[in-house]
Amino acid sequence: MNEDLMPVKTILDHGYLKLVETWGSDQRIVESARMSTGKGFLGWGVEETCEGCDGSGTGTKMRGHGPGSLCPRCQGRKRAINRPGDEKLLKYLYDNKHATPFEVAGATFEIMAPIFVFREWHRHRTQSYNEQSARYEPLPDLNYVPSVERLLLNSKTNKQAGTIKGAAELTEPGARDFQDAIVSLYASAEGVYQQALKEGVPKELARLVLPVGRYSRMRASANLRNWLAFLTLRDDPHAQWEIRQYAATLREMLTGSFPRTMAIFGDGRP
């Protein structure tokens, strides 16, 4: 598919997530799981059939016919019937942790996010990464400024998100003061950075003053098994709020290409 036509979603104040490409499918996962039996893909479940066929498959299934239409083979009117197909095997694989077949599918994303988000993301070492390098070109002057609502968001149950012992309760004026302070620091750091570049400081050293709130870009590629592992940790209430915004969007984009697998993954979440 033309890369320009792939979905792009804006995240945070300057970030985005872009689906570059996917490979494989829910069907390919089933086919891979049946390599020992040679049965391949047998089809998804029957949702509609004919009264005359009674779900036995001896007549022509009614998919694609309008309401009340007649089966050209048995002339019986269609009715709803639920006969599970290969989605049952797909669910069995996932529920019983037979994860290898999910490695035949996957996706590549382009991400623009603050550096501190990438530091969390890179802990998932089963993915393949290529990040923009400030050794070769200056990073754009784009920095993350959390909203007041984000600053006031405080989870009492997540120790990693909590404040230090003895800290005062953050107020809206205090949150706005912090916003002003980091905007001023970002501007100061950018000034030192640009001045260093003009004076001939190597780019790989001039970047030392850049904060972890500076935006960078990367591409990340993984098979579906490892994207599901990523989502298990990062699309979770205990993950930091910023990376959760990327994870939720990533899950939405994967659903477009692997709807049955992602539905099973969603059903299995607490």
Which regions of the chain are under pLDDT 70?
Answer: 1-5, 46-82, 154-161, 268-270
Residue 60 within a domain = yes
Residue 50 within a domain = yes
Residue 8 within a domain = no
Angle of the 259-267 helix axis to the 26-33 helix axis, nearest 10: 80
pLDDT of residue 8: 94
DSSP, res 95? H
Residue 175 within a domain = no
Q: Do the beta carbons of residue 110 and residue 11 sit within 8 Å? A: no
Q: Which residue has the tokens 């007549």?
A: 59
Residue 59 within a domain = yes
Quick one: tokens of 148? 């007041």
DSSP, res 143? B
pLDDT digits over 194-237, tens only?
Answer: 999 999 999 999 999 999 999 999 999 999 999 999 999 999 99
Strand blocks (E) in 132-264: 215-223
Buried b (16+ CB within 10 A) or exposed e, 102-131: bebbbbbbbbbbbbbbbebbeebeebeeee
Distance CA 114, CA 215 (A): 4
Nearest to 208 by CA among 130, 139, 112, 129: 139
User: Which residues does the annotation mark as catalytic?
Assistant: 234
- Rg over alpha carbons for the chain, rounded to the nearest Å, is 25
Residue 100 within a domain = no
Tell me phi and psi for residue 14, to 5 degrees: -130, 5
Q: Do the beta carbons of residue 160 and residue 240 sit within 8 Å? A: yes
In terms of residue numbers, what domain contains 53?
Answer: 46-83
Residue 61 within a domain = yes
Burial of 172 (0-12, 13-18, 19+ CB in 10 A): exposed
Residue 69 within a domain = yes
Q: What predicted TM-score, i.e. pTM, was given to this entire model?
A: 0.82
Domain count, the chain: 1
pLDDT of residue 118: 98
pLDDT digits over 43-76, tens only?
Answer: 788 655 555 555 444 444 444 445 455 555 555 5
Q: Do the beta carbons of residue 210 and residue 189 sit within 8 Å? A: yes
Q: Do the beta carbons of residue 154 and residue 135 sit within 8 Å? A: no
Distance CA 5, CA 8 (A): 9
